[in-house]
Amino acid sequence: MPLGSRLARWAATRPDHLAFALGEDRMTYGQLLSSATGLARGIREHRTDAIRFGQRWPEPLVAISLPNSASFVRAFVAADLAGAAVAVLDPAWPPAQAQAAIGLLRPDSMITEDPEVARRGPAESERTAWLLPPGDAARAAAPDWAPPDPAGRFLIGFTSGTTSRPKAFVRTHRSWLESLRHSEAVFAAHERSVTLAPGPLAHGLSLYALAESLFSGGTFVSLPRFSEAEVTAAAERPAPTRFVGVPTMYQRLLETPRTASALGTISTFISSGSKMPPAVLSRLFAAAPGSTFLEYYGASELSFVSVSRSTAATAGGAAATDVTDVGIAFPGVEIQVRDPSGDVLPDRHSGLVYVRSPLVSDGYLTEERSGFRHDGQWCTVGDYGHLDAGRLHILGREGDMVIVGGNNVYPSEVEAALRSFGAIEDAYVVAVDDPLRGAKLVAIVSAADADRLDTALLRAHLTARLPRYKLPRALAAISRWPMTNSGKVSKEALRAAYLAAAPDIQELPWN
């Protein structure tokens, strides 16, 4: 029960403090605990003590499929209070993917407002009950059941995102509790903090921000959907002290003076998912010069691995401008870099990044072919990088490697070099078929004025940092990045747009 004891404390000591604001809905800690407890009792009543994935599951398994809403917050808190294993399904998934997830899990309870999703739940398992989230904050007695085993399952997450067959991993109550205890200090979460996280709650970044805010007794603010205008309005009531989002959100908010000014009073910014481009970070500090920017690297299966901290005074330093630098080890986390034989490598020698941490997941619920693997207490997701004086540098992932003319290239290395060029705001590299080299690297960039980009100077900049075989063979500019549901740039859509010569893609002179 990562949140249970803290919520009980806030409901007892600060019952009228605002727990969350989402759209027009608001709820205090006293109201949230009462409302969620009623739903938690329903979850526990449908517990079946089933055998799943070859193991006995004494805890109830509840699946939540809800958009950003007060109902989502109540359902997630209720699952925690019930001591359940909770699977958060993305309501934006196509029907085949949602059905595959439900069929894999066979949950005891489905919590959704979508009748079609609810129909699939009972159809996949005779014991699945459809529980409607409560519509009010009716008083309910505090939980009177024993807390769950800390080693018991808590969160079931999905890492596939693009296929109909979900790939599900599981984390324990203890692993989440350890993460929350450490992140309070690292990410400036406390009783007076107001956290604005406008991304989808079905994805890890905003979901964790919600849990972290409730754990620390602060106020959580989100939106039914992300838009620049809605973020600007939400930044006024109540005024946020923290903002949590992916780099593309920051880029969109900083494009116009009005939306940029809405960020000016925020003291702490948090980002993950990809490295913040230096040009965007500079604009952020211009809008909020007294703020601190915190960026963390991790993986769904590993949780937090490293964290970096920047201020306006340090934004021009090597750590901030080196876009492979992802910071120092997160508290409680140990990092090694190993060669293919498993030997630990010294500083500045690249290899596979291994982590030893109390935060990591228990692995996948089914046998999966993936980069996540264990070696005793150490594990890796297949990321390739190196350490330098305690700072971790990530160069790419095993599965992302491209063979160009017989040479191994990680696109993220090329992206890092592109992003270090001052006139480029952001850059991604995609590989397209090439009859001579096997693959051709295409750099797609965004810039304030792409027509005036000095490509000769850019080529000289890249040549000084990359061997010849890693240089892109084509260059294009894009007016707006295609994004996934979680707000990350979709490389698959980007590659398709380039190949189709989409209207928002502008080929630039290069060779």
Residue by residue, DSSP assigns 339-365 as: -TTSPBP-TT--EEEEEE-TT----BS
Instruction: Check pLDDT > 60 for residue 161.
Output: no
Separation CA 341–CA 475 (nearest Å): 38
Q: Annotate 253-286 with b (16+ C-beta within 10 A) or e (fewer).
A: bbeeeebbebbeebebbbbbbbbbbbbbbbbbbe
Residue 453: give its domain's CATH number: 3.30.300.30
Q: How confident is the model at residue 164 (pLDDT cuts 50, 70, 90)?
A: very low
Give residue 371's pLDDT: 72
Helices (H) and strands (E) in the chain, counts: 15, 29
Q: What is the pLDDT of residue 1?
A: 67
* Averaged pLDDT, 477-501: 86
Write out the residue range of the structural domain in which residue 92 sits.
1-172
Mean confidence (pLDDT) of the chain: 88
- 95-109, 154-168, 191-205: range with lowest mean pLDDT: 154-168
More confident residue, 484 or 496: 496
Write down the pLDDT at residue 274: 81
Nearest alpha carbon to residue 193 among 2, 19, 4, 8: 19
Residue 380 in this model has a pLDDT that exceeds 60 = yes
Does the pLDDT of residue 162 top 50, yes or no? Answer: no
Beta bridge partners of 292: 268, 311
What is the H or E stretch that residue 334 is in? strand 334-338
pLDDT at 506: 92
In the predicted model, is pLDDT for residue 53 greater than 90?
no
Region 344-366: mean pLDDT is 92
**Does some domain include residue 101?**
yes
Mean pLDDT confidence for 394-403: 81
Q: 279 φ, ψ to 5°?
A: -65, -40
Residue at 229 is within a domain: no
Span 110-128, average pLDDT: 75
Position 90, amino acid: D
Report whether pLDDT(63) > 50. yes
For 423, residues 6+ apart whose C-beta sits below 8 A from its C-beta are 279, 447, 448, 453, 454, 458
- How far is Cα 23 from Cα 77, in angstroms, rounded to an integer? 18
| Among the listed residues 70, 68, 86, the one whose alpha carbon sits nearest the alpha carbon of residue 1 | 86
Rounding to the nearest 10 degrees, give the CA dihedral for residues 499, 500, 505, 506: 80
- Highest average pLDDT, of 181-185, 400-404, 409-413, comes from 181-185
* Angle formed by the axes of helices 70-81 and 4-13, nearest 10°: 110
pLDDT at 84: 93
* DSSP H or E stretch at residue 386: strand 383-388
Residue 401 has pLDDT above 90, yes or no: no
Place of tokens 């990410």: 187
Cα 364 → chain centroid: 18
Confidence of residue 47 (pLDDT cuts 50, 70, 90): confident
Q: CB–CB of 308/282 below 8 Å? A: no
pLDDT of residue 163: 41
Q: Between these two residues, 318 and 86, which has the higher pLDDT value?
A: 86
Number of structural domains found in the chain: 2
Could you identify the residue written with the tokens 């090329």? 414
**Is residue 356 in a domain?**
no
Phi-psi region of 353 (alpha: psi -120 to 50; beta: other; left: phi over 0): beta
**Which whole-number Å values give the CA distances from 366 to 162, 168, 169, 251, 254, in the listed order?**
18, 7, 8, 38, 42
Query: CB of 270 within 8 A of CB of 294?
Result: yes
What was the pLDDT predicted at 146?
A: 82
- pLDDT at position 235 is 85
| SS3 label, residue 146 | coil
The answer to whether 288 touches 266, Cβ cutoff 8 Å, is yes
Whether 347 is in a domain gets the answer no
Q: Could you say which of 121, 153, 172 is where a domain stops?
A: 172
- pLDDT surpasses 70 at 172: yes
Question: Would you place residue 403 in the very low, low, confident or very high pLDDT band (cuts 50, 70, 90)?
Answer: confident
Residue pLDDT, tens place only, 439-456: 889 999 998 888 889 999
Instruction: Summarize pLDDT for 15-30 with one digit per residue, the tens.
Output: 999 999 998 899 999 9
Name the domain boundary from 130, 155, 172: 172
328 domain residue, yes or no: no
Instruction: State the Cα–Cα distance between residues 511 and 497, nearest whole angstrom.
Output: 21
Side-chain half-sphere exposure of 188, counting CA atoms within 13 A: 19
User: CATH number, domain at 106?
Assistant: 3.40.50.980
Is residue 311 included in any domain, yes or no?
A: no
**pLDDT of the residue at 134:** 63
Q: Which residue has the higher pLDDT, 466 or 237?
A: 466
Q: How confident is the model at residue 269 (pLDDT cuts 50, 70, 90)?
A: very high
* Sign of the CA dihedral running 234, 236, 238, 241: positive
pLDDT band at 281 (very low <50, low <70, confident <90, very high): very high
**What does the block give as tokens for 267?**
């003291």
Is residue 276 in a domain? no
Q: How far apart are CA 446 and CA 146, in angstroms?
A: 54
Any idea what the Cα angle at residue 206 is, between residues 130 and 177, rounded to 5°?
Answer: 85
Determine, yes or no, domain membership for 205. Answer: no
Q: What is the predicted pLDDT for the residue at 344?
A: 97
* Residue partners of 55: CB distance under 8 A and separation at least 6: none
Tell me 15's DSSP state.
T
Which pLDDT score is estimated for 135? 58
pLDDT in tens, 120-133: 777 666 667 777 66
State mean pLDDT over 195-206: 94
